[in-house]
Amino acid sequence: MTKTPEQIELERVRARLTKRFHQACADYGLIADGDHILIGLSGGKDSLALVELLGRRAQIYKPRFTVTALHVRVKERAYQSDMSYLESFCAEAKVPLIVRDVAIEDGAQDNERVKEANPCFLCSWYRRKTLFNVAQELGCNKIAFGHHRDDVIQTLLMNLIYQGSFATMPPLLQMEKMPLQIIRPLCLIDEADLVHYAALREYKQQKALCPFEHVSSRDKVKGLLEQIKALNPEAMDSMFGAMTNIKTAYLPSVKV
């Protein structure tokens, strides 16, 4: 049977994503025998691709590991996912799905007013807290997030601009206060490839998007990054490489 151009393109993009996913897992030691990995499934393209890639990888004999997906719904937030779609998607990927509803505690909204510059703070905090709690309930030793290469570089720029530090989210992070590791298996994948793959796979978007989705500092830095790429199309490769090639600069003394 002759394949359509769409099918050929889907296989091509899937092969590239899979290659970079496996490379990240191998380079950074993200998966080992006996792991139980909890995926933070928001319902967006990145977490859907992560469910698909980890679900497929879990079917391979070595290493043997277990995957579970968790979708957290914060009652006070307007975003909404199609639960029937998430359930069928996870079933197809052979990844069990858990759904938890959480509510922001009384009085916490007052704290959010203090943090108006970051309206995502409370929602993110409650979702992360639920992920850590469920991971420990299930006996998971790792939590997987769908952060891609663009996220890693954007975080680097945000820390440089707002915090004055050269730091970003690592592919593998050992939590200090609990026996959990954070892994980011999509860290070598470009967002453009994920957008293209999501369109080819016809991923469903969330029913209602977060009202703050395009007003965050990250979104502003994303726009800045697009300007940088206009200056140098290879800028993403340069910045990602710089994180593993840090050199001590000579700073001449300055007379005041």
pLDDT, one tens digit per residue, over 168-185 is 999 999 999 889 999 999
How confident is the model at residue 212, as a pLDDT?
Answer: 56
Which pLDDT does position 110 carry in this prediction? 53
DSSP for the chain reads -PPPHHHHHHHHHHHHHHHHHHHHHHHHT---TT-EEEEE--SSHHHHHHHHHHHHHTTSSSS--EEEEEEEEETTS--B--HHHHHHHHHHTT--EEEEEE-PPTTHHHHHHHTTT-TTHHHHHHHHHHHHHHHHHHT-SEEE----HHHHHHHHHHIIIII-------SEEE-SSSS-EEE-TTTTS-HHHHHHHHHHHTPPPPSB--TTTTSSHHHHHHHHHHHHHHH-TTHHHHHHHHTT---PPP------
Least confident of 31-40, 105-114, 243-252: 105-114
pLDDT at 58: 97
**pLDDT of the residue at 117:** 46
Task: Please state, for a pLDDT cut of 90, what percent of the chain lies above it.
Answer: 65
pLDDT tens digit string along 139-152? 999 999 999 999 99
pLDDT exceeds 50 at position 198: yes
What the chain holds in terms of domains, given with CATH numbers, is: 5-211 (3.40.50.620)
Instruction: Flag whether pLDDT at 129 surpasses 70.
Output: yes
Please determine, for residue 228, whether its predicted confidence score (pLDDT) is greater than 60: yes
What mean pLDDT comes out for the span 45-63? 95
The tens digit of pLDDT for each residue in 27-38 reads 999 999 999 999
For the chain, give the mean pLDDT.
Answer: 87
Asked if pLDDT for residue 210 goes beyond 90, the answer is no
Does 215 have pLDDT greater than 80? no
105 vs 119, residue with greater confidence = 105
pLDDT at 47 over 60: yes
Task: Answer whether residue 73 shows pLDDT above 50.
Answer: yes
Confidence of residue 255 (pLDDT cuts 50, 70, 90): very low
pTM, two decimal places: 0.87
Tell which wins on pLDDT, 13 or 245.
13
